[in-house]
Amino acid sequence: MPIDQEPRRRFLRQVLAIVPAASVASGTALTQAACSPSSQADGAPSSDTYHRVYFQAAEWRFLLAAVDRLIPEDEYGPGALKAGVPEFIDRQMETPYGHGRLWYMQGPFHPDQPAELGYQLNLLPRDIYRLGIKACDDWCAKRYAGKAFADLDIVAQEDVLARLEHGQIEFDAVPSQTFFSHLLRNTKEGFFADPIHGGNKGMIGWKMIGFPGARADFADWIDRPNVKYPYGPVSIDGRRA
């Protein structure tokens, strides 16, 4: 849920375990796109110049507000917005992941089965976002005098996210808990994945937790337990923070 101070630090320590997998996610096509001349030195388009590839204007406003509550900027470091998480998620919607090509999507589907049995909906990730954001904004408009999620104050936004997390809001087109789980997981990925995928700008996620990135050789440090690694992180493509 919305992360602050000590809970936020605990969250960062917990997700450190997923960074190696996230740092190599997505594939060659996205890697090549991220390394094109149109990208910044940190591998992600600038927020000021970024052009959305999937999300519409209202959806983009929701995404900016939501990820800012999930990983806010605070005294411990930058948050999801400075890390480029919205850009990361937007770009993911045009990858095989966003189009549901990474798992079997032919059915039959059994939504009531345990999560261990795999994804059990006929909705693509991009559809989950489109339907979920609209449903959430519609729910907020009914409850908060016509206001969309992005127009709510911080307390109200965090309350809505908590309700989504625990499935306390019913949507017709997509389970609210499923929508939230995708949003939270992709927010974590955008904060900690290798910058070549569009997020983790300046490797700020890695620097916050002391993750060295894709360095290939640690031989000099094998015999130095509990000694802080002194070098900054390195991207898969060789760029350094």
Q: What is the mean pLDDT of each run of 10 residues along the chain (241 residues)?
A: 53 50 38 36 53 96 98 93 97 95 79 67 92 98 98 98 97 94 97 95 92 83 84 88 79
pLDDT value of position 19: 44
**HEC sequence for the chain:** CCCCHHHHHHHHHHHHHHHHHHCCCCCHHHHHHHCCCCCCCCCCCCCCCCCCCCCCHHHHHHHHHHHHHHCCCECCECCCCCCCHHHHHHHHCCCCCCCCCCCCCCCCCCCCCCHHHCCCCCCCHHHHHHHHHHHHHHHHHHHCCCCCHHHCCHHHHHHHHHHHHCCCCCCCCCCHHHHHHHHHHHHHHHHHCCHHHCCCHHHHHHHHHCCCECCCCCHHHCCCCCCCCCCCCECCCCCEC
Beta carbons within 8 Å of 196's beta carbon, 6+ residues apart? 30, 31, 34, 35, 43, 235, 236, 237
pLDDT value of position 118: 67
pLDDT value of position 18: 45
Cα torsion angle, 160, 164, 165, 166, sign: positive
Can you tell me the distance from the alpha carbon of 43 to that of 77, in angstroms, rounded to the nearest whole number? 20
This prediction has a pTM of: 0.79
pLDDT value of position 15: 52
Can you tell me the distance from the alpha carbon of 206 to that of 193, in angstroms, rounded to the nearest whole number? 9
Angle between helices 57-70 and 85-92 (to 10 degrees): 130
